[in-house]
Structure 1
Amino acid sequence: MPKWDDAYCTLAQEILEKGIRVHNRTGVDSIKIPSWHFRIDLADGFPALTTKQLFLRQAVLEILWIWQARSNDVRWLQERNVHIWDKWEISQDGTWRDEETGEILKTFDPSWAHTIGTAYGYVMDKYSLPQKLIRSLRKDPEDRRRVVSLWQESELETAVLPPCVWSTEWDVTDGRLNLWVHQRSCDVPLGLPFNVAQYAVLLMMIAQVCGLEPGVIDWSIKDAHIYVNQVEGMKEQIRRWKEEPEKPAPRLWLDPEVREFEDFDSGTACSSVHLEGYEHMGKLSFALTQ
């Protein structure tokens, strides 16, 4: 089985076997462990799970929404048929409501309608974080101060949600671009496969435009959890991991003509990127807990 499937299913098994059931703000209990770390070397192949299907187009467009478009406007995603953030979109009247009950969860100025407030792409744009990172990688590869933080205290109160993947650290070693990702809270069945694929694509894109080779991703999680309504699906994925014939790790193709990060295609087709040799064991559905 590809190394990413091994790392992922090992984490899921650890949570189910040793995790603690806890209450949380969503009203749906989760089973959690307090922390976890894994490492992915992109030389081993692209981290797209083979034990379930990964929908790469949506994952790539979400990360480009944040890092390239530097947008907090949910309509940007909706125009590309990506609906990951629909539940968190601020309404026309400036309220953010529970989709099922209609309860007002947070109130904003109506000018923030259709956005997620001062989060993610808003912070990227306000502090010019992608531009600063790429400039540093090109001009000073040995810089040890490349921390990109979405956790800005002054912006949290006016954000719908504080960032889950909140910080990245970047370094160049022996011509390879390496990345450390920090995640404060992790929905393992739904969020983690998307997040890992996104940051692997991002690393490869930035490496390409900076004339570097993709390296290693270290990933640190605080509060890795599985919601109780996701347990059966996760058990099925672990069964596939243990019992089904192994699938090969896929490779990611990036348009080799792209030399500037802004030029990667962020349209509906997302034509600058696709997976080669991707075989998987089929779709698994998990509940999304707001």
Structure 2
Amino acid sequence: MAKWDDIYCSLCETILTTGTRVHNRTGIDTIKIPSTHFQLDVGQEFPILTTKQLFIRQAVLEMLWIYQAQSNDVRWLQERNVHIWDEWEIDENGDWKDVKTGKVLRHFDPSMAHTIGTAYGYVVKKYGLIDRLIQSLQETPEDRRRVVSLWQDAEMETAVLPSCVWSSEWDITDGKLNVWVHQRSCDVPLGLPFNVTQYAVLMKMLAQVCHLEVGTLDWSIKDAHIYVNQIEGIQEQLSRWHENGSYEAPTLWLNPKVEDFYQFDNSKELKDIRLEGYRHMGKISMPIAQ
């Protein structure tokens, strides 16, 4: 059975049974708990949910958009048939609008059209975050200062959505690459499954190009929540878990010939990565809150 499914479904159950209902900026209430933490041994099990289908192509391409392409341009994703950021795209007039009502939520300089402003990949590129991380992993394995922060105060005012997964800390212990990821706010039904799988893939890619083994992924969340219009979908997933448990975790294959992080294929086909033996219990549709 997949340990990640057990951790994830237990978290969802905890939120629904002990959480507090609160209002938030989206206008859709959430059930939340103030914090949580879990650890996964990615060297032993690749974390991707089996109690519902996760579309790894979209998840990996979003991660590569941020850390490899270092882009904030939503069209990069759209060209690859990934539409998870469409609702945060600034239009040609510099407006970020409510997709349902057309109301202008914020106005930006029109030069930021088709982007999400100064967030995510923009920050990675401006501050050279991934290059410094790779250099440190390759040249100074004992380094204790590998903090990759997507939360830069200078960029907050011109970001459509400040980074939710906002920082990661990396270390090498006994030849294994480990990371601790911090998330300031977490849409548990939709965001968390994507995010955990993304960082597990990033770990394995960096470990490969830096000639390291893969170790543990620690994950801490401040404000772990479920939107009230997602409860039905989560209850369906929990029902599957209680009745059937989970399937065995699949194996992630990376092209062993790739020795440079920037050489992993980021085309629509994602040629250098695939899941082997992925069994899941099917898709569960849940709404996203803009």
TM-score normalized with structure 1 length: 0.99
Once structures 1 and 2 are overlaid, which stretch shifts more, 181-190 or 39-48? 39-48
What is residue 53 of structure 2 aligned with on the other side? 53
Q: Which runs of 5+ in 2 are unaligned?
A: none
Instruction: Say whether residues 1:119 and 2:102 are aligned partners.
Output: no
**Aligned Cα RMSD in Å?**
0.7
Q: Which residues in structure 2 correspond to 1:190-201 (within 5 Å)?
A: 190-201=190-201
The separation in 2 between residues aligned to 1:32 and 1:67, in whole angstroms, is 29
Provide Cα deviations, 1:152-192, integer angstroms capped at 9, x if missing partner. 00000000011000000000000000000000000000000
Aligned residues: 290
Q: Aligned to 2:202, what secondary structure does the other structure show?
A: helix
What is residue 183 of structure 2 aligned with on the other side? 183
Are the counterparts in 1 of residues 60 and 198 from structure 2 also a CA contact under 8 Å?
yes
What is residue 37 of structure 2 aligned with on the other side? 37
The separation in 2 between residues aligned to 1:42 and 1:35, in whole angstroms, is 22
Relative to structure 1, is the Cα distance of residues 246 and 161 closer, same or farther in structure 2, using a 3 angstrom cutoff? closer
Instruction: Say whether residues 1:67 and 2:67 are aligned partners.
Output: yes
Shift of residue 84, structure 1, vs aligned partner: 0.6
The separation in 2 between residues aligned to 1:92 and 1:195, in whole angstroms, is 29
Are the counterparts in 1 of residues 33 and 224 from structure 2 also a CA contact under 8 Å?
yes
What is residue 241 of structure 2 aligned with on the other side? 241
Shift of residue 103, structure 1, vs aligned partner: 1.0
The separation in 2 between residues aligned to 1:110 and 1:247, in whole angstroms, is 48
State the 4+ residue runs in structure 1 displaced beyond 3 angstroms.
none
Instruction: Say whether residues 1:276 and 2:279 are aligned partners.
Output: no
Instruction: Say whether residues 1:265 and 2:244 are aligned partners.
Output: no
The separation in 2 between residues aligned to 1:57 and 1:143, in whole angstroms, is 32
The separation in 2 between residues aligned to 1:45 and 1:252, in whole angstroms, is 9
What is residue 26 of structure 1 aligned with on the other side? 26
Amino acid in the other structure paired with 2:89: E
Instruction: Say whether residues 1:14 and 2:14 are aligned partners.
Output: yes
Once structures 1 and 2 are overlaid, which stretch shifts more, 233-242 or 57-66? 233-242
What is residue 134 of structure 1 aligned with on the other side? 134
Are the counterparts in 1 of residues 5 and 246 from structure 2 also a CA contact under 8 Å?
no
The separation in 2 between residues aligned to 1:190 and 1:68, in whole angstroms, is 23
The separation in 1 between residues aligned to 2:245 and 2:37, in whole angstroms, is 27
Identity in percent? 67
The separation in 2 between residues aligned to 1:45 and 1:54, in whole angstroms, is 16
Provide Cα deviations, 1:227-272, integer angstroms capped at 9, x if missing partner. 0000011011111111115411111000000000000000000111
Shift of residue 43, structure 1, vs aligned partner: 2.7
Relative to structure 1, is the Cα distance of residues 5 and 223 closer, same or farther in structure 2, using a 3 angstrom cutoff? same
Instruction: Say whether residues 1:167 and 2:167 are aligned partners.
Output: yes
Q: Which residues in structure 2 correspond to 1:71-90 (within 5 Å)?
A: 71-90=71-90
Are the counterparts in 1 of residues 117 and 159 from structure 2 also a CA contact under 8 Å?
yes
Amino acid in the other structure paired with 2:180: W
Q: Which runs of 5+ in 1 are unaligned?
A: none
Provide Cα deviations, 1:94-142, integer angstroms capped at 9, x if missing partner. 1111111111111111110000110000000000100000000000011
Provide Cα deviations, 1:47-99, integer angstroms capped at 9, x if missing partner. 01000001000000000000000000000000000001000000000111111
What is residue 251 of structure 2 aligned with on the other side? 251
The separation in 2 between residues aligned to 1:287 and 1:42, in whole angstroms, is 29
Q: Aligned to 1:38, what secondary structure does the other structure show?
A: strand
What is residue 221 of structure 1 aligned with on the other side? 221
